[in-house]
Amino acid sequence: MDVLAALQSFLQGRLPSVQGRLVVGWSGGMDSTALLAGLLSLRTLEWPPLVAVHVHHGLQAEADAWAEHCQQCGTAWDVPVQVIRVQVPAGASVEAMARQARRQAFASVLQEGDVLLLAHHADDQAETLLFRLCRGTGLDGLRGMDEDTCWLHQQRRLRLWRPWLSLRRAWIAEWMAQQDRPWIEDPSNQHTYFARNFLRHEVLPSLEQRWPATIEHLGSLARECQDVLSQLDAWDRDLLQSVGFGNTVSVASLQALPEQSRARVLRLWLKDKGLPRPGRHLMQRLCTEFLAVTGGTAPLLTWSGVEVCRFRGQLHAGWQLPDLKDFNVSWDMQQPLPLPGQRRLVAEQVQGRGLRQPPSGYVWVRGRQGGETMRIYQHGPRQEIKGLMQSWAIPPKYRYRCPLVFVGEDVACVPGFAVAESHAAGVDEVGYDLIVMSER
């Protein structure tokens, strides 16, 4: 197999669409070093800028040396290398926590128009499918990893390529043996205590010994599932548009759908919001008894830091967040303001709308205490924030999580909802749209 020709074929129809940089996720190991080496072999002056990102997990004694290796090689190969240090939180699975931290690190360096390239290959795809099958998965899990996809991060759609997903690792290793490109070996990759290493070193070799085409057949299964799911996703998208209402979905419209369609529409809705989907049992509850609750209660369902609640016939979903009752910070609106719950308040400069720049140059951002009022319309009455939030259909549980922006002692803005008329920018004035964004 001509590895370089396969890489060139993958890139040929895609490079013209790249508006930013090619960002290679580079651990320093053989697979990612091979991908970077292949790109360097093919690179021309017409290519987008090529950079590499090394994520320093701090989990191995050699982690500093690996980062130094990547920086030295990057200098020798004329490739800018950015090292991102992350803290891997404690959890049931070090593998999963490290993977999540790594994805967050990649997202933090991707700029508008960039594409992230990762060196996953056919053996990795087979491991992924087997891992999901053994732990329990549905049709969505059998699609495995996509060659060309996007993921949602902080309300941005980030593009991801895996050029070698159909190539065997042995082919890449054979090609690398002919290159003068040193790589590092992570000893933890040999520890079969970790689930994926167990599959890689114990299970897959045994399966291949009995059925030599196992890897290829698992890859074919993933591609067939991707084809089927692409069509299902299009149908689900049409259904979601029919039941959606802005950021929420209609309970009554969902109940009118068959139960299996409800589950798929809700999975797509959660995916669009950048939220992890629940397990099969919780999804079944969400599609049946949760939707059937009647009366004045506002039912709540939670999983993995996510919460879904019902309010006024609509489903609302988001991350579980702390209230802001004790939050009180001055802000000049020049840099994003961190908020509790992995959020930030961002000010985007606009013309003729939004919040007018206050004379002092700064505002106060506070949590709601109760009793605050504001006047939205000229000559209109002052209204309680509580009543306004009710009119905006904000569920009661969420109302103390919304930041209020004060100029002096006046509520000047409820970000994402309203600006007080006395603090609104005029037609010829510069204003600020204030937006609360998630950092997850």
pLDDT tens digits along 346-363: 999 999 999 998 888 899
Does residue 161 have a pLDDT over 80? yes
Per-residue confidence (pLDDT) for residue 298, from 0 to 100: 66
- Write down the pTM of the prediction: 0.79
Give the CA radius of gyration of the chain.
Answer: 25
Per-residue confidence (pLDDT) for residue 181, from 0 to 100: 94
Looking at residues 253-267, what average pLDDT do you find?
A: 88
| Chain-centroid distance, C-alpha 331 | 27
Q: Among residues 305, 309, 308, which one has the least CA distance to residue 322? A: 305
Looking at residues 25-36, what average pLDDT do you find?
A: 96
* Domains recognised in the chain with CATH numbers: 3-219 (3.40.50.620), 246-319 (1.20.59.20), 328-438 (no CATH)
Looking at residues 147-169, what average pLDDT do you find?
A: 90
416 against 95, higher pLDDT:
416
Looking at residues 388-411, what average pLDDT do you find?
A: 92
Summarize pLDDT for 58-72 with one digit per residue, the tens. Answer: 888 888 999 999 999
Task: Provide CB contacts within 8 A for 356, sequence distance 6+.
Answer: 423, 424, 425, 426, 429, 431
What b/e readout covers 311-336, taking b as 16+ CB neighbours within 10 angstroms?
A: beebbbbbbebebbeebeeebebeee
Residue 63 near residue 56 (C-beta atoms within 8 A): yes
**What is residue 194's DSSP assignment?**
S
Give 94's pLDDT tier (boundaries 50, 70, 90).
confident
Does residue 296 have a pLDDT over 80? no
Residue 438 near residue 343 (C-beta atoms within 8 A): yes
